[in-house]
Structures are given as structure tokens and as C-alpha cells.
A and B are shown apart, each in its own frame.
Chain A
Amino acid sequence: MKKKILIVDDEPNIVMSLEYTFKKQNFEVFIARDGSEALEILKHQIPNVILLDIMMPNVDGYQTLTHIKNTDSLRNTKVVFLTAKNKASDIEKGLKLGADKYLTKPFSVKKIVSEILELVT
């Protein structure tokens, strides 16, 4: 069975690279442009892993994560923050909220892939 990944980011160019990469890795890829779109998708899908940006319009990454953590059906879903915010305080906050990993932009595609695979296998 194909692993499912949800990519949540408002920058189309970045999304495109990630989508291409994970399709190559044989993932089923879902895309959301912000937190509210992501939550909409999560009503019907239970992905194995979610790549989550923090700075997004409407519903931001933190709010989205909190929502996910409060949803029972998603308790096995891994959440990885992928963001330009790289201050120590930001990282601490993200992990405290319950993210499984905290990765920063700009990123190496290879590194992201290996980190995600590590989580889902």
C-alpha cells in the first residue's frame, strides 16, 4: 500500500519540488495551500506524514498542528514542520506543540526524503 503524504505550503514553487520528489518516492501526495485547506483534506484522508509550513495565510502551521493533535483519528500521523523560521525559540515551540521533526528552509531535497522515510518506516 502506498504511503500518503500531505504537503502544506503557500509557495507554489516549493510545493512543486516537494510534490515531484515524493511522487518519485512512491508516495500518494496531497497538497494544501494553507491550514484550512489542510484540515479540509484531513477530514477524508489519514496521511502517514504531514509536511507543514508555519507562516501561511488564514490558519497558520501552529494552529493546524494543534488541530491535528486534537483529532483522534490522526494520532498515528507524523507531523514535520518545514519552515524558514530557524530561531532556537521557534524550533522549541514547534517541538513542544508535538511536531515529530522540525526542518528548516532552504532545504536539501535528499535530506528531507531521508528524514521523512526514517519517520514512516
Chain B
Amino acid sequence: MNNYTLIFIIIIYLAVLFYIAFVAEKKHQSKWVNNPYVYTLSLAVYCSAWTYYGSVGIAANSGINFLPIYLGPVIAAPLWIVVLRKIIRISKQHKISSIADFISLRYGNNRFLGALVTVVCLFGTLPYISLQLKAVSETFEIMSDDTSYISTTVIDDSTFYVALLLAVFATFFGTQNTDASEKHKGIIASVAFESVLKLVFFLVIGIYITFYLYEGTTDIFNQISIKENFKSLSTLNGVEDGFNWFFMIALSFMAIFLLPRQFQVSVLENNREKHLKKAIWLFPLYLLLFNVFVIFIAWAGKLTFGTTENAEYYTLLLPLQNGNSFLATLVFLGGFSAVISMVIVSTLALSTMVSNNLIIPYGFLDKFIKNQPERNSKYIKNIRRISIFTIIITAYFFYVSFSKELSLYSIGLISFVIIAQLAPSFFIGLYWNRGSAKAAIIGTIAGFLITVYTLVLPFTLSAYTGTDDFTQYGLMGVSNLKPYALFGIDFLSPPAHAFFWSMTINLLCYLTFSLTSKGNYRERNYAEMFVDSKNFTTLQDSALVWKGEAYVSDIKNVLIRFLGEKRATRALNIFFTKYKLPKDTQLADARLINFSEKLLTGSIGSASAKILIASVVKEEQISLVEVLKILEESKENIVSNKVLLEKSNELSQLSTKLKDANNELISKDRQKDEFLDTVAHELKTPITGIRAATELLMDEDDDMPKETKAQFLKNILQDSDRLGRLIHNILDFEKLETGRLHLDMQYKDIQETIVKAISSISQIAAKKEVTIINHNTHSFSTNYDEDRILQVLTNLLSNAIKFCSPKSGKIIVDYKLGNEKVEISVTDNGKGIPEEDYDYIFDKFYQSKDQNTRKPQGSGLGLAITKQIVEKHNGKIWAKKDVKNGASLVFTIPFK
């Protein structure tokens, strides 16, 4: 393929990535960007060019040894739910922006430790990035048919330009915000996209080679198995290989947590913890798919070419050999994807570390303090941009001077072993509060030096001197100091050997110095916060112990320098509101110190944040005992605050209840008064009539006509009856009310009872010319007290008659069965029930509001008595709502 065509394809492809990143950044709230699949696919940034090309190389040269690098992550995945979630939580809470920040914060914002971690990461990642560039360069060479052309200078080398393009991409999308703890949705979306591409293209080429070039997996296996030393390629060779495998798995297990790019995607770019749940099975599945065809591609390549030279690029060479340059281009793009995502995420992570943990705390802080806010933010971004370019270009020169000689696999492993030096301070620090900063520093340095001696130095020396005297005879000829066989341990592969020794020494140093040296109070404080993160989440800003003198205005000035006036003011307002402090608070407390440090951490890293804040406050040293006391107090405070809050809530609930009860009592009292008033009025009316008539009749001087006399006597009789009925009602109600009524249950026909009730009241109805219709004439028998139900029906009917207008009045009595009860309704077309009365008409003593001055339509007992009777039958009574004209009262009698 023509060089220019290839470059054209690369540029088009990069444009597509730019577009995806751009859209994702713009629609950063869309669920297309925020879902567990994008998260899982972004984790697949783990599969770089090393996986894409290197695995096949290993498989061809040493059989299944390519597997341990993927087994580590597979073993780690289920643990994410516990370990990674804890890391994510802590990081979010403290606005962590890199693994260097994370480790430095754990050991009390230790500035040196943060810088050390950054340096280790730089050493670990630079060769790794150069490995990616090497892959780009070599595959480019394979793809272009212009074989005579070999780049000799940087200016002619297309890899250099590719590296620059990647730097532009990373700069553009990686430094949109000053706050590095903000998410980079654009980059993540493009990484996820690339993860899909590289997997799909790798599977396509795997299927092509296995099933088109050969006749399936069995065919390849059969052909390769007759070749010499096949057995050694497909099995483990004894205990030594077992050890190698064990260390390689352990190494990759650590790498999946510690690699700066993995920390970036798995922790910093995680926007929902629950995405982890999907990732823990989806990510291993992804790795599995990626490795399905590796061994077959390797064997097929070996069968085709007969040699393992260039085995890493079998995936390209096989289709090219068969004239399929389209497939080869796809493979090339897949590999290119793997490179781009790895390089971009790594440089992004590294640039944050370099700026926040190396450059800013060690040189630029003083400058920042004097600067204007807008310039500060620009400075920070520029430091990061320059870092990105510097890292990529350094990686390029590293590639030019070293990597050309080395395989992808061996460079990758060097990176892994270097990064693994962070493991003790990282993992143990998460769960052991005694781990101290001094121990972390010594352990990391020791481990790093040993790695350099056992792994980096031999490579470098042999690359420079061209001899392997150093590896053969050891330092100054001391055989115990042979870099690949320290103290006679000669059965491990060089990376496993380096890993074994560096990790042993690192761990020993870490544990020893942790046990022998106690950190200062700040360190212990953060240690507690990390180890006991669950408890300390509730403490939030008060979790940091701090004692001293500080002014809000000073701290505000510092914040303004980095966040700008607007954000700083807003942040402080939020803080004051959160802790219910007055807006004009002058003296800062520990919470504000911690809050401000957190705010700055995202922009300039935790160590710098601490230094900056410390520059404007006067801190007092506190003893460890005091720290623990303060912590205990703030814990207790939170607990007691919580208890207080609960109690006060309870109290206010109680007082509401009391108020309600009191209101009810008052209302009851008033109702009772009204009821007594009404009863008195009702009693007085017939008595008045009787008294007046009697007085007139008694007047002997009066010559009253006979008819008049008779009428007065009749009136007296009527009033006496009325009085009697009234008294009966009151007593009846009292009996029902106090529950002394016993029902006389008998098996009766409800239809007959209805007929009886209607006929008993028919005279009154006829007088008013109100029609009563008995709707359901079927008979139905059940158990009830007939006299009482008659009382109910009569009450409801006379009520209905009372409210109906004369002549046009119409009352319908109906009943239906269902749900183990009889439902009887009395519906009239009268004036209806006022809406506000619906819920109360059956209440004892209740009478419509305006009845105090209007003549009450009864004693106020009728419906109350009715209700009592119905409820005594275990039934219910209610007024139907939404009746258009008139009222409809319904009651039920249950039966079994």
C-alpha cells in the first residue's frame, strides 16, 4: 500500500475519533456516554498494542505464556466490588486526580511521596508508550509497500507525526478543565469506541486465519502438533514455570489497579459505582474474547512462515501474504486504536501527575500565590499541555534509542514491574492504618532500585555495550549479584525474577518501617480516613483534625486565585449553608481547612493544596493522643447530633399529634355543647306547646269554644308523644354509644323488611306527595336484627322525605348482593348533602354548621343511631359522592 494512502487513512480515522470525542464531550449527560458498557470498554484500554501484537509473539515463541497477563485482571475483577469501590469512593470524596494524588493523600498529603509515585509512574509508563510508538512504526513499515524507504531522521519519520497528532488529541480533550478530577467524557467515549474496533478487528482476523487460511482449529492443531518441541509450547514445564506463572499473574493483578491509565479509567472516570457490577463480568469476558484466537494465529503463522521472527506481526503478515490488503488495513487500524487509547489515557494521567505532584508543588506554588486567578488557571492548563507533549516526545526518543531492539512483550513487562512497586503502599495502605509515609517512601525506592538493577540495567547495558557480561558474571564478577539470578535464584524468567526480589524487599521495608516509625498526626488522620472509609464518610469535612488560627478571608483569597472569584464565593456559600454558619464568619475551623484543601486538590493536587492552605494559616502541632480524642469527639458529635435531630423530629411529631388531639377534643367538646343545645331546644319545643295550651285551658274566665278546647287538648297529646319519642331516642343512642345493645339476630328476608319499612312511613310520604320506589323485588334471606334494620331504613327514608321537595320528590330503595354482603341504598332527588358534610354526617353530635340558627331537621341523632346499628352488624354506612341530584345513602350487612 502506498505511504500516502496509509497516512490518509490514519488521518481520516483520527478525524472520526476527534468527532466522537467532540460529540461525547458536548453531550456529556447523555446515557450513550454514561453507561456501564462504555465504562467496561474504557477499562479495555488495558489491551494495548502489547495485547494486540505482542501476545501472538509470545504464543509463537513460548506457547501459552501470554495468558498470565490476562489471568491477573480476571482474578482481580470480582474483587473490584470491594476494593475498587472503596478507592472510587475515597477518590470522589477527596477530588483525587491521579494515583500519585491518591497515595500521597493516604500518607498525609506527603509531597515527596506524591512526587516519587509520579517518577515511578513516569519510568514505568514512558517505555510503555514508546512500545506503542514502536508498534505503530513497525506496522506502518509492514503495511507500506515502499520497503526501500527507511526513515533515517526524525523529520522523515511518520511515527513522529503520529505521536504529535496523539499529543494534540490528548491536549485538546484532556485539558478542558483546570480541575483534573473532572471527567473526560470525550476521551472515554473514543477509548470505548476504539476498544470495540480493536476487539472486532482482532476477532475478524482470527476467524480469517483459522477458518479461511486453515481449515479450523483442529486443522492447525494437527499440523502444529507434529512439529518439533510442540509439547514445551503448550504445557507448563515443572515447578519453575509454575513460579513464573504465579509471579506473572500477581504482576498483572497489581497492574490492573496501579497502571496510571487503569487508575484513570477505572477510578477517576467512573461516574457511577453501580457500573462496577457489570464491569466485573463483562471485562473478563472481553479479555477472554481477545485471547481466543491468539494461539491459533501464532501456530498458523509458524506453519506459514516457518520462523518466529516477526511473530508479533503475524496478524498483518498473514493477510498480506495472501494478498488481502483490506483485512491487513483493518488489523492495522485495530492495532492503531489500541495504541491511541493507551497513549492518550496514559499521557493524560501522567500529565496530571507531573503537573499536580511534581511541577506545581516543587516550583510553581509561590508564583501561583502572587498571580491573578485567570492566569493561574491558564498556567495550570499550560503546564499539563506541555507535560503531555514532553511525555509523548520523550517516549518517542526512548523508542528511537532503545525500544527498536526489544520485543513488545519485554518492554511491557519492564513497565509492569516498575509500576508494581507502588503495590505495598497502595494496597496495604488501604487496609492497614499503621502504614506510614516514611515506610512507603523507603519501600518504593528500594523496590524501584532493585528493579532497575535486575531488569532495566541489563537491558540498557546490553543495548549500549552490545555484550551481556553484566548478566553473565554479575556486578564486578560477584556471582551472587548476577542481575538475573540474585543470590542464586536462577530458575525464574528475568521479569519474574525482578518482580520477586523487588517486591520482597519493598514489602519488607514497608512493613518494617511502618512498625518502627509512627507518622505525624496528619498522616495517622488520613490513614484512619482511608482504612475506615465507611465510618469517615459520615464525618466528611470534620474528619480532618486541625488546630490553629486561620481567617476565612485569607483562605478565600487563596481559593479565588485558583477557582476564580465566582466559584470561590459560591463554594464558600455552599460550605456556610451546609454547616449552618453565618455568612460573615471570620475565623476558619478545621472543616473549612479540609473543605478548601479538597477544593484545590482537583486543580493542583493534594500535596500542593495542603502547602497552599498552610501558607495562609497558622497551624499548631497536635499530639497523636489529641488527634484521636478530637476524632472520637467529632464522631460522637455526629452521632449525638443525629440523635438530637431524631429526638427533635420525634418531639415535633409528638407536638403535632398533641395539637391534633387537642383540636379534636375541643371540637368534640363543642359538638357536645351543640348537641346538648339541640337536645334542649328539641325538648323545650313540645314543653312550650304543652305549657301554653294548658295555661289557656286552665283559664276559667275564658269561654273557649269547644272545638278550640279539643284542638288544644289534641296538641298537648301530640307534644307529649313527641317528647316521649325524643327521650326514647336519646336513651337509645346512649345505649348504642356505650355498646350495651344486643342484637336479636334472626334469619329474615331483607326484601320483606324493606317493604315493611316503606309501608310504615308511607303515610308521611303520601302527605308530602313523595313517591317511594322499591327497585329490587327479589327476596334474599340472611341473619340480622330486623327491628334494628327497620329502624335504620325508617331513619334513612324519613331523612330522604325531609329533604325532598313536595310533589316532585322521588325515593328509590334498592339492594344488591356481592362480596359476601348485602348493599342497600336509599336514593332521593332532594336538595342533596353539602360537600363539606360528606365525611361527618354520621358522626354523633354532628350537625351541619349552619344548623345552630336554622331549625335542625331532627335531634341530630337519627343518622348517628343508624350508623351504630349498621356497625353493630359489622356493616358500613356512607353517603355516595358525586350524586348529581339529591343524596344516596348506602349501608351494607355482611353475610357468610
Contact = CB atoms under 8 A, between A and B. Distances in A.
Interface of A: 10-11, 13-14, 16-18, 20-21, 24, 54-58, 60-62, 84-85, 105-110
A106 B855 contact: no
Contacts of A108: 691, 695
B853 A54 contact: yes
B689 A55 contact: no
B695 A18 contact: no
Interface in B680-696: 680-681, 684-689, 691-693, 695-696
Contacts of A24: 702
Contacts of B718: 13
Given A20-B708, A62-B853, A11 B685 contact: yes
A108 B695 CA distance: 8
B712 interface: yes
B138 interface: no
Contact of A17 (B677, B687, B693, B702): B693
A78 B681 CA distance: 25
Contacts of B695: 17, 108-110
Given A57-B854, A84-B681, A109-B695, A14 B688 contact: yes
B interface residue count range (under 10 / 10 to 19 / 20 to 34 / 35 or more): 20 to 34
Contacts of B692: 13-14, 17-18, 21, 106-107, 109
A93 to B, nearest CB: 10
B667 interface: no
A21 B696 contact: yes
A14 B685 contact: yes
Contacts of A21: 692, 696
Contacts of A20: 696, 708
B853 A84 contact: no
B533 interface: no
Contacts of B853: 54-55, 60-62
Nearest to B685: A11
Given A13-B719, A84-B688, 6 more contacts: A13-B692, A13-B718, A17-B689, A17-B693, A21-B692, A84-B680
B711 interface: yes
A106 B687 contact: yes
A96 to B, nearest CB: 15
B788 to A, nearest CB: 30
Closest 7 pairs (CB-CB, A-B): A17-B692, A13-B689, A106-B688, A84-B684, A105-B688, A13-B715, A60-B853
Contacts of B856: 55
Interface string B658-671: 00000000000000
A10 B681 CA distance: 13
Contact of B689 (A14, A54, A57, A60): A14
A3 B20 CA distance: 106
A10 B695 CA distance: 21
28 contacts: A10-B855, A11-B685, A11-B688, A13-B686, A14-B689, A14-B692, A16-B693, A17-B689, A17-B712, A17-B715, A18-B692, A24-B702, A54-B853, A55-B854, A57-B854, A60-B853, A61-B853, A84-B680, A84-B681, A84-B685, A85-B681, A105-B684, A105-B685, A106-B687, A106-B688, A106-B692, A109-B692, A109-B696
Interface string B710-754: 011001001100000000000000000000000000000000000
A106 B695 CA distance: 12
Contacts of A107: 688, 691-692
Interface string B748-770: 00000000000000000000000
Contacts of B685: 11, 14, 84, 105
Contacts of A18: 692
B854 A11 contact: no
A16 B855 contact: no
A17 B698 CA distance: 13
A60 B693 CA distance: 25
Contacts of A11: 685, 688-689
B854 A106 contact: no
